[in-house]
Amino acid sequence: MISLEIPRRLRGVATMARDVAQGMFRPISRKYDRAEHDYPVELDSLRAIVDGMAKGGSSIGATEIKREKSERKGVRNGKNMAAVLNVEALCWGDLGLLLTIPGQGLGNAAIAAVATPEQKERFDGKWAAMAITEPSTGSDSAAIRTTARLDEATDEWVINGEKIFVTCGERADLVVVWATIDRDQGRAAIKSFVVERGRPGFDVVRLDHKLGIRASDTATIHFTDCRVPRTNILGSEEIQTRKGFAGVMQTFDNTRPVVAAMAAGVARAALDRTRELLRMEPRWRRPRWQLDATEAELQRLEAELEAAWLLTLKAAWMADNNQPNSMQASMAKAKAGRMANEVTLQCVSLCGALGYSEDELLEKWARDSKILDIFEGTQQIQQLIIARRLLGKSSRELR
């Protein structure tokens, strides 16, 4: 039966996350925006809370959101739904800090999705970053050049290459590295490998200075004959021309709604604060053209947020109910990314010099939000995915 309300059980989960956002993130939000590259030590205590929340059946980030086989009949509001609710609430607090919660890296999502039981045990409790992008390879992740060669003599993979834009690259215990095991075989030969920090040949050579999300470290990592055990490959060693890469890309169907939720949280924060500063309660009863320009704009922005948020919930709901959701995940991400950027920028503008000042967080959110339309697939990549689905086109036809 159609209902677009959040069930009570999950509302409680989101309330807890909102408390963390308000009580832990907001007070240190500006501090780590200014102190870029300093590790937010306050977050160490968060690890215990996160573990507690995970035990209570709700995941705080992308870690646990692989698809579950449905045992019960009926509609599920499961881990995907819980994840987007948590993330939305936490990002109302601070996006940069969310991205650097210990133990909640994107690499953890990849491990949770495809690791063997033996690997899961070995990497349990570790914080895992994800290294995909290279200096000359952004959205076109099938073109990566980092190589992994199997040394049969020692039963080790030997990794060589350069990775950039690695979120938590300096702070994480592990990095999941995408590398090709045969450059001539294209995407099918791309595999992911778990590399533990501190292995010889693993060097963090640079931390980026960024427009926003400065609390979160973004590293460049060089791999020079970096050796890892053969058992550190995630998934099969075989080159399956048909399935391999598609399997890797499928992870994004689960993580894109989470990024959309981040966007919803940041936008909500900016709208809430703007209404506080302007002392404008919504006047829903008035016709649109009877409102002053500021109130009319705030209502329009709230409508855009509502659309993005419901698209996000839809994509998560589909994932929870084992419905293919590639297109809907991309729709949520595309809409939410552009929405959050527009909303936060407009809120700065509506609040004038106060919005532009570092005395308020509005300018920070407007800087932070830009990444949401870029990482986990840019706006344009999402449009490509949506358009190919709608139009029934292959990646060769619609390039």
Partner 1 sequence: MAALTRFAGSEFADRNGLRPIAERLLHRAASEAVRTGKSAGRAFAPLGELRKRSKLKPREGKPSDAFDLTPTEDQQMMRDVLRRFARESVRPAAHDADMHPERGAEVLEAAGELGLTVDVIPESLGGTAEHREILSSVLMAEDLAWGDMGLALAALSGRGFAAALTDFGTVDQQNRYLAAMAEEDAPVAALAIDEQGPRSNPSHPQTRATKVDGGYRLVGTKVMVPMATSADLFLVTASVDGEGPTAFVVPGGRAGLTRTAARTMGLASAQLGTLEFDGVMLDGSTRVSPEYDHARLLDLAKLGVCALAVGTAQSVVDYVIEYCNEREAFGEPISHKQAVAFMIADMATEVDGMRLTTWRAAARAERGLDFHREVKLAHILCSDHGMKVGSNGVQLLGGHGFVRDHPVERWYRQLRAVSILSGGLVA
The residue from 7, 56, 247, 324 that contacts partner 1 (CB under 8 A) is 7
- Angle of CA points 296, 18, 346, to nearest 5°: 25
Please name the helix (run of DSSP H) or strand (run of DSSP E) that holds residue 109, with its range, or none: helix 106-114
CB of residue 335 to partner 1, shortest distance in Å: 5
- Cβ proximity to partner 1: between 183 and 286 the closer is 286
| Smaller CB separation from partner 1, 137 or 379 | 379
Residue 293 found at the interface with partner 1 (CB under 8 A): no
Q: How far is the CB of 258 from partner 1 (least distance, A)?
A: 16
Minimum distance from residue 249 beta carbon to partner 1 (Å): 18
Strand partners for 211: none
Least Å from the CB of residue 179 to partner 1: 30
User: Is the CB of 279 or the CB of 399 nearer to partner 1?
Assistant: 399
Single out the residue of 20, 65, 81, 87 in contact with partner 1 (rule: CB under 8 A).
81
- Rule CB under 8 A: say whether 378 interacts with partner 1: no
Cβ nearer to partner 1, comparing 34 with 393: 393
Residue type, 350: L
Contacts of 273 (CB under 8 A, 6+ apart): 347, 360, 361, 362
**Considering only residues 16, 36, 67, 77, which one is a binding residue for partner 1 as defined by CB under 8 A?**
77
Over the range 137-160, which residues count as b (16 or more CB within 10 Å of their CB) and which as e? beeebbebebbbeeeeeeebbbbb
Helices 79-93 & 244-278 angle (0-180, nearest 10): 40
Nearer to partner 1, 1 or 41 (CB): 1
Choice from 306, 322, 357, 359 touching partner 1 (CB under 8 A): 306
DSSP 8-class letter at 6: P
Taking the C-alpha atoms of residue 188 and residue 209, their distance in angstroms, rounded to an integer, is 34
C-alpha closest to that of 202 among 248, 159, 165: 159
Min CB(72)–partner 1 separation in Å: 11
Three-state SS for 209-276 is CCCCCCCCCEEEEEEEEEEEEHHHEECCCCCCCCCHHHHHHHHHHHHHHHHHHHHHHHHHHHHHHHHH
Question: Taking contact as CB under 8 A, which single stretch among the options 102-110, 129-137, 177-185, 384-392 is the one that binds partner 1?
Answer: 384-392
Exactly one of 87, 131, 308, 329 binds partner 1 (CB under 8 A); which one? Answer: 308
Residues 6+ apart with CB under 8 A from 64: 54, 79, 83, 112
Q: Are 17 and 89 in contact (CB under 8 A)?
A: yes
60 part of the interface to partner 1, by CB under 8 A: no
Site residues for partner 1, 314-373, by CB under 8 A, read 314, 317, 328, 331, 334-335
Residue labelled with tokens 């030590």: 41
Q: How far is the CB of 11 from partner 1 (least distance, A)?
A: 8
376 is catalytic: yes
In the block, tokens 């909303």 appear at 343
Interface with partner 1 includes 395 (CB under 8 A)?
A: no
Catalytic residue (choose from 196, 360, 363, 376): 376
Bridge partners of residue 220, in order along the sequence: 206
99/255 Cα distance (integer angstroms)? 13
Identity of the residue, 259 or 331, whose beta carbon is nearer to partner 1 in the bound complex: 331
Q: Verify binding: residue 211, partner 1, rule CB under 8 A.
A: no
> Nearest 5 degrees, angle CA 299-CA 305-CA 308?
145
- Within 154-193, which residues bind partner 1 (CB under 8 A)? none
1 binds partner 1 (CB under 8 A): yes
Single out the segment in contact with partner 1 by CB under 8 A; choices: 122-130, 214-222, 266-274, 313-321: 313-321
Yes or no: say if 80 and 66 are a contact pair by the CB < 8 Å rule. Answer: no
Place of tokens 């998934």: 235
- Return the active site residues: 376
List residues binding partner 1 (CB under 8 A).
1-9, 74-77, 81, 282, 284-285, 287-290, 299-300, 302-304, 306-308, 310-311, 313-314, 317, 328, 331, 334-335, 380, 382-384, 386-388, 390-393, 397-399
